[in-house]
Amino acid sequence: MEVQRADAVCSLVLLQGRGIPVECVIDVGAAEGSFFLIRHEAGLFPRARHFFVDAMDENRPLYERIAAAFPAEHAIAAAANFDGETDLQVDPGAYNTHVRGLQPEAPRYASRRVAVRTLDGLCAERGLGGPYLVKVDVQGGELDVLRGACKVLEGASIVVLEAQICLFRDTLPDLMEFMRTRDFVLYDLTNLSYYQSDHTLYQCLAVFIARRFDFRRQEPYPSASAEATERERLAARQKYIRDRIEQTCAVRAGPVHATLPDGAGFSLR
């Protein structure tokens, strides 16, 4: 499996390499099981149990098939900060299915009544212990899920959240502030999503790690040779920028010949 640095999979590969422990993966908004497949193909935390949490009963046979071959189980329910029922807005294409009220009403969506459970309750019932990797992708209701997972978060080492930038509720700053109060730190931002119409950023994945596992302040400085090479690169860059600014400002006084670092030249008029 080829892993791109801009993908959350790479973030998890790096954290696994750091030895951050995961014994149970809680997959909220599991849908067709893509996160499980990614885990399997990337070799992510191979000993960890996988817990699917999803409101769509249509996905039950898939979860049961996986559980017959791997350490896994499932709950058919929407995750939030209470136990009860709610209305689910079902996207005809499935991918934007969400709890009613998280997004503007869409007439083309079907509506159904579904069970709602907290992650704390679900994990306690099943005896699922940490350390947890919690992944939440619920189309704008991430904070509700987290508020119902206070105990789970105490035992979590990694949390991956879909984060809105400018849409609906639970934007990236909201999630960052909540996670800060639960003693998590932001590790990475990946999977940037842009509108096709005007290339506006509207969504990303935010990867958090428990502060107790934050290794970054202990990172060593580069070796002496690596630091010397980097200083040479920066010095060359500074000289190039200064020269280009001087040439740009001199244009008003007449033709100027500009030389690029590789020796190629062109005339400015």
Give the residue extent of every domain in the chain: 8-218, 226-268
- The pLDDT value recorded for residue 96 is 61
DSSP H or E segment with residue 244:
helix 224-250
In 3D space, the residue among 42, 36, 50, 37 whose CA is nearest the CA of residue 12 turns out to be 42
Q: What are the structure tokens assigned to 269, written together?
A: 């008029």
d(CA 119, CA 158): 15
- The pLDDT value recorded for residue 98 is 57
d(CA 105, CA 32): 24
Q: Tokens 């842009």 belong to which residue?
A: 194
- The pLDDT value recorded for residue 266 is 44
Q: Decide: 183 and 230 in contact? Cβ < 8 Å.
A: no
Q: What are the structure tokens assigned to 32, written together?
A: 């067709």
The angle subtended at Cα 207 by Cα 84 and Cα 41, nearest 5°, is 90
d(CA 177, CA 42): 30
191-247 confidence digits (pLDDT tens):
999 999 999 998 899 999 999 999 987 766 677 888 888 899 999 999 999 999 999
Q: Which parts of the chain sit beneath pLDDT 70?
A: 88, 90-107, 110, 168, 219-221, 254-269
The three-state secondary structure class of 196 is coil
* Those residues with Cβ within 8 angstroms of residue 110's Cβ, 6 or more apart along the chain or in another chain: 89, 90, 92
Q: Decide: 176 and 206 in contact? Cβ < 8 Å.
A: yes
Q: Decide: 45 and 38 in contact? Cβ < 8 Å.
A: no
How deeply is 255 buried, as exposed, middle or buried, from its count of CB atoms within 10 A (0-12, 13-18, 19+)? exposed
Q: Tokens 């009963």 belong to which residue?
A: 57
Q: Any idea how long the chain is?
A: 269
- The pLDDT value recorded for residue 227 is 84
Residue type, 160: V
CATH 3.50.50.60 fits 8-218, yes or no: no
Sign of CA dihedral 96, 100, 103, 109: positive
CB contact burial 76-114 (16+ within 10 A = b; e otherwise):
bbbbbbeeeebebbbeeeeeebbbeebbeeeeebeeeeb
